[in-house]
Amino acid sequence: MVKIIWRFFFVQGAWNFRGMQNIGFVYAMLPGLKKVRPADAEKAAEKYVRFFNTHPYMAPAIGGVFLNIEERGDEAVIEKLRPGISGSLAALGDTFFWATLKPIIALLLLLALMGDNVWSMILVLLLYNGIHLWTMTWGFARGYRNGPAGALELAATLAIDRTKRIALAIPLLAGMVIAVMSLKHDTGLTLLGANLLVFIAAAVAFRLKLGVLWIFYGVFTLSLVWTIIK
């Protein structure tokens, strides 16, 4: 199964543009299909050539689920399951990785850059890649072992409520970035004051249902403007 996981890591993500994920997905599935259905692997792969779109880090879990079902010989379930599982896991992946984890990692990298700490930047990058590689490996293993129940386990791990709690780190880190900027440029803005301003802005954003991601982009816009002015 190492070959299957490798293909999901390095091939499926490369086809991550709308309407074309099916090509990478089929290529990543082929080694598994040849193992679970050695007599007609290529014929079994034909059903996966149709449109397929999900979050790239969720694709291994879906592949594991489908291989589990293929091994049991229940192909009809795949067609029923395909739209729901790909869409649901895509939404969870987008919310957790793109809208939450990436902004957090970007703010941590910005803080490390401001502190001229190269090792901290490396550790932050290792943190992000460790989380996403673990998600892909664990998701595939659970999907292949437990079938659709494995996908539910992954969905529970990346639950929206849990992601919302993690997202609270965005305004906190954004406040720290503004505080460090104020210290570097001697603006007189205190650490407490900077964090307070950002949390007030975050509260307003939540009230307006804008989401903390707007705070993240606001901080980066402010950083860019501040750099140009200075």
Considering the domain architecture, whether residues 44 and 143 belong to the same structural domain is answered as yes
Considering the domain architecture, whether residues 162 and 172 belong to the same structural domain is answered as no
Mean pLDDT, residues 100-129 taken together: 90
Note the pLDDT of residue 18: 46
Considering the domain architecture, whether residues 85 and 55 belong to the same structural domain is answered as yes
Average pLDDT score, the chain: 81
Model confidence pLDDT, tens digit, residues 159-172: 988 988 888 788 77
Long-range contacts of 119-123, Cβ-Cβ distance < 8 Å, separation of 24 or more: none
Considering the domain architecture, whether residues 10 and 21 belong to the same structural domain is answered as yes
Model confidence pLDDT, tens digit, residues 170-207: 877 877 777 777 666 555 555 556 556 666 666 676 66
Q: Residues with Cβ < 8 Å from 3, sequence gap 6 or more? A: 31
Instruction: Please provide residue 76's backbone torsions phi and psi, each rounded to the nearest 5 degrees.
Output: -60, -30
As to burial, measured by CB atoms within 10 angstroms (0-12 exposed, 13-18 middle, 19+ buried), residue 171 is buried
Instruction: Give the burial string for 27-59 (b: 16+ CB within 10 Å, else e).
Output: bbbbbbbbebbeeebeebbeebeeebbbbbbbb
Cα–Cα distance, 133 to 57 (Å, whole number): 8
DSSP state of 98: I
Which of 148, 167, 186 lies at the terminal end of a domain, its last residue? Answer: 167
Question: Collapsing DSSP states into helix, strand and coil, what is residue 74?
Answer: coil
Number of domains in the chain: 2
Considering the domain architecture, whether residues 90 and 37 belong to the same structural domain is answered as yes
Give yes or no for a contact between 137 and 5, defined as CB atoms under 8 angstroms apart. yes
- Give me the residue label for tokens 């089929």: 26
Which amino acid, one-letter code, is at 98?
A: W
Supply the range of the domain harboring residue 82. 2-167
Cα–Cα distance, 39 to 37 (Å, whole number): 6
Instruction: Please give the model's pTM, rounded to 2 decimal places.
Output: 0.80
Cα–Cα distance, 59 to 57 (Å, whole number): 6
Percent of the chain with pLDDT over 90: 39
Considering the domain architecture, whether residues 101 and 29 belong to the same structural domain is answered as yes
Higher pLDDT, 221 or 48: 48
Considering the domain architecture, whether residues 12 and 84 belong to the same structural domain is answered as yes
